[in-house]
Amino acid sequence: MITDDQLIAYLAGRLTADEKARLESALAADPAALRRLLEQERLDSVLRLLHAPAAERLAVKDSILAVVRSQSHQATVRDVMASLRPSARPAPAPSPFAWLARFWPQPVAVSLALAAVVALLLFLRPWKSANPDLANQPPPPTPPSHSPPAIPAVPLPQPRLAAQWPFAPDSLWNTPIGSAARFVPVLGAADLSTGILIVSAQVAHPIVLASTNDPLADFFTAGQSAPFITTHLPKAVFTTPSASGTTLLILPDGVTLLELNRFRPAGANLQAEIIHRADLRGPGIPPQLPSATASGLSQLAGSLRHQELATRIPHVVGAVIPREILGRKSDGTAHVWPALRSIAENPNLAPRLDPTGNLHLGTLLAIPPSIDINQHAPPGTPAHALARALQDYGLLIKDSFNGFGFGEWEDAGRPHLVLCADDPWASGDPRELARQLAPLIRELRIVENHGPSHPGGGGAPRVPVVIPPFGNPGPPAPNRR
């Protein structure tokens, strides 16, 4: 059993390299101890606040007093935690398990400690007002705006790399909204006023690039004695955590994608429950691009790639939604083209779906052309880049999720649309981006005539389709099947 003394020594950096390695190995198999470690890390953050310099405590106090009377407890806790990370203070080295904290709710210990801080600050506020010396002081300076600066346009890559901008020019994912698109409101339990959440694709479904310098290995699937494929296996496949249990491996040729589900090392090789293979130069939908997701649509499709928020998003945006707002149709299904399936096939989950909703897996939404996005998202900003993509190309529901234990989603107010980006912080704070986009997210409508014969609703494309050719791929990966 892992003791509290061991956890404290670990956090304090007092363990030797061997002791640290043994403890981290034990933590991986002890969820209760890992939770205690995360609680202690966050409690330490609160205690650091209480011992911080007066100037920093005053800044946090002002931010708390500004919101405590108008926000929920969860929102107050979130803002206080944000105040604990001043930009001028160097960040500590991340714990090997720090990424797990994003998927757990705030611990009770942290909530109690933060409540004590808030209570203390509220107690001090009347004393300050009654003291004439302090009451006559000028108000603190207005903090700088968090609005992102204007970003100069950057030309799209020539030629393009399949890992950064995948799929054929006529792929659904590269097709703009058409002039014949018919828009209908979102019905049922789905509430677009909850806004969006932008999460890290490298946490949800890591993308790992293989090179010819990586060792060759056999990839096996469950129950198969012959390898599914023999190819290069980077160490990062095993050392990069995946919240979904899925890692996307792009082989050295730059165009072959392997989706690895619930995998583990098998000596020098890899054993996975499921392996799917696809060519990133194809249409990007089943059956050419299969996936083990609830919809059959790849998690790679529609993700926001590096620097797209800082330049332009020239493709359909993919999103996932909570299960409880997924609409169940009269025939008992909950998916439309291009999705293959949904959780409605599960008799235990089907009753939980919304029988009044029209948001299904595979549904395409877009901001109608009558909406002036410039009123809410100034050109040259990340908010405008994403808003423009939602109007020009639309947003496709590619999967559903169970929010249990998804702390980041809970803290954001349970938004009904979750997007993935390679680096959500590349163009500023994604929470600020979500706030700026909230009025436009409410304008999203379903493209009801979106289908295989007229993707995007058909008609003339809203924007010119200018897609650079792929670069020259390397040699294909060796394959034994």
Q: Exposure pattern of 264-292 as b/e (b: 16+ CB <10 Å)? A: eeeeeebbbebbbbbbbbbbbbbeebbbb
* Contact between residue 19 and residue 13 where contact means Cβ atoms under 8 Å apart: no
Residue spans per domain, the chain? 4-135, 176-203+300-457, 204-279
Region of poorest pLDDT, from 55-64, 162-171, 218-227, 252-261: 55-64
Is pLDDT above 80 for 27? no
| Residue 2 confidence (pLDDT) | 78
pLDDT band at 460, cuts 50/70/90? very high
The pLDDT of residue 464 is above 80 = yes
Convert the pLDDT of each residue in 336-373 to its tens digit. Answer: 999 999 999 999 999 999 999 999 999 999 999 999 99
pLDDT(449) > 50: yes
pLDDT digits (tens, 9 = 90+) for 102-142: 433 444 444 444 444 444 433 333 333 333 333 344 444 43
Asked if residue 408 lies in contact with residue 102, where contact means CB atoms within 8 angstroms, the answer is yes
C-alpha–C-alpha distance, residues 216 and 463, integer Å = 44
DSSP string over 431-476? HHHHHHHHHHHTT-EEETT-BTTBGGGSSSBSS----PPBP---PP
Q: What is the mean pLDDT of residues 463-479?
A: 72
**First vs last Cα of the chain: how many Å apart?**
46
Confidence at 404, pLDDT banded by 50, 70, 90: confident
pLDDT for 26 equals 75
Summary mean pLDDT of the chain:
79
pLDDT of residue 320: 96
Strand (E) or helix (H) holding 366: strand 364-366
pLDDT grade, residue 425 (50/70/90)?
confident
Strand order in the sheet with 246-250: 207-209, 246-250, 256-266, 269-279, 216-221, 229-232
Q: CA 393 to CA 174: how far, in whole Å?
A: 8
Flag whether pLDDT at 473 surpasses 60. Answer: no
The beta strands (E) that lie in 191-350 are given as 196-200, 207-209, 216-221, 229-232, 246-250, 256-266, 269-279, 317-322
Q: Is 426 exposed, middle or buried (0-12, 13-18, 19+ CB in 10 A)?
A: middle
**Is the omega angle on the peptide bond into residue 338 within 30 degrees of 0, that is, cis?**
yes
- Taken as a whole, the chain contains a residue count of 481
Say how far apart CA 386 and CA 365 lie, in whole Å: 14
Cis link prior to 461 (omega < 30° from 0)? no
More confident: 154 or 456: 456
Structure confidence at residue 22 as a pLDDT band (50, 70, 90): confident
Mean pLDDT along residues 81-105: 40
β-sheet bridge partners, residue 219: 229, 270
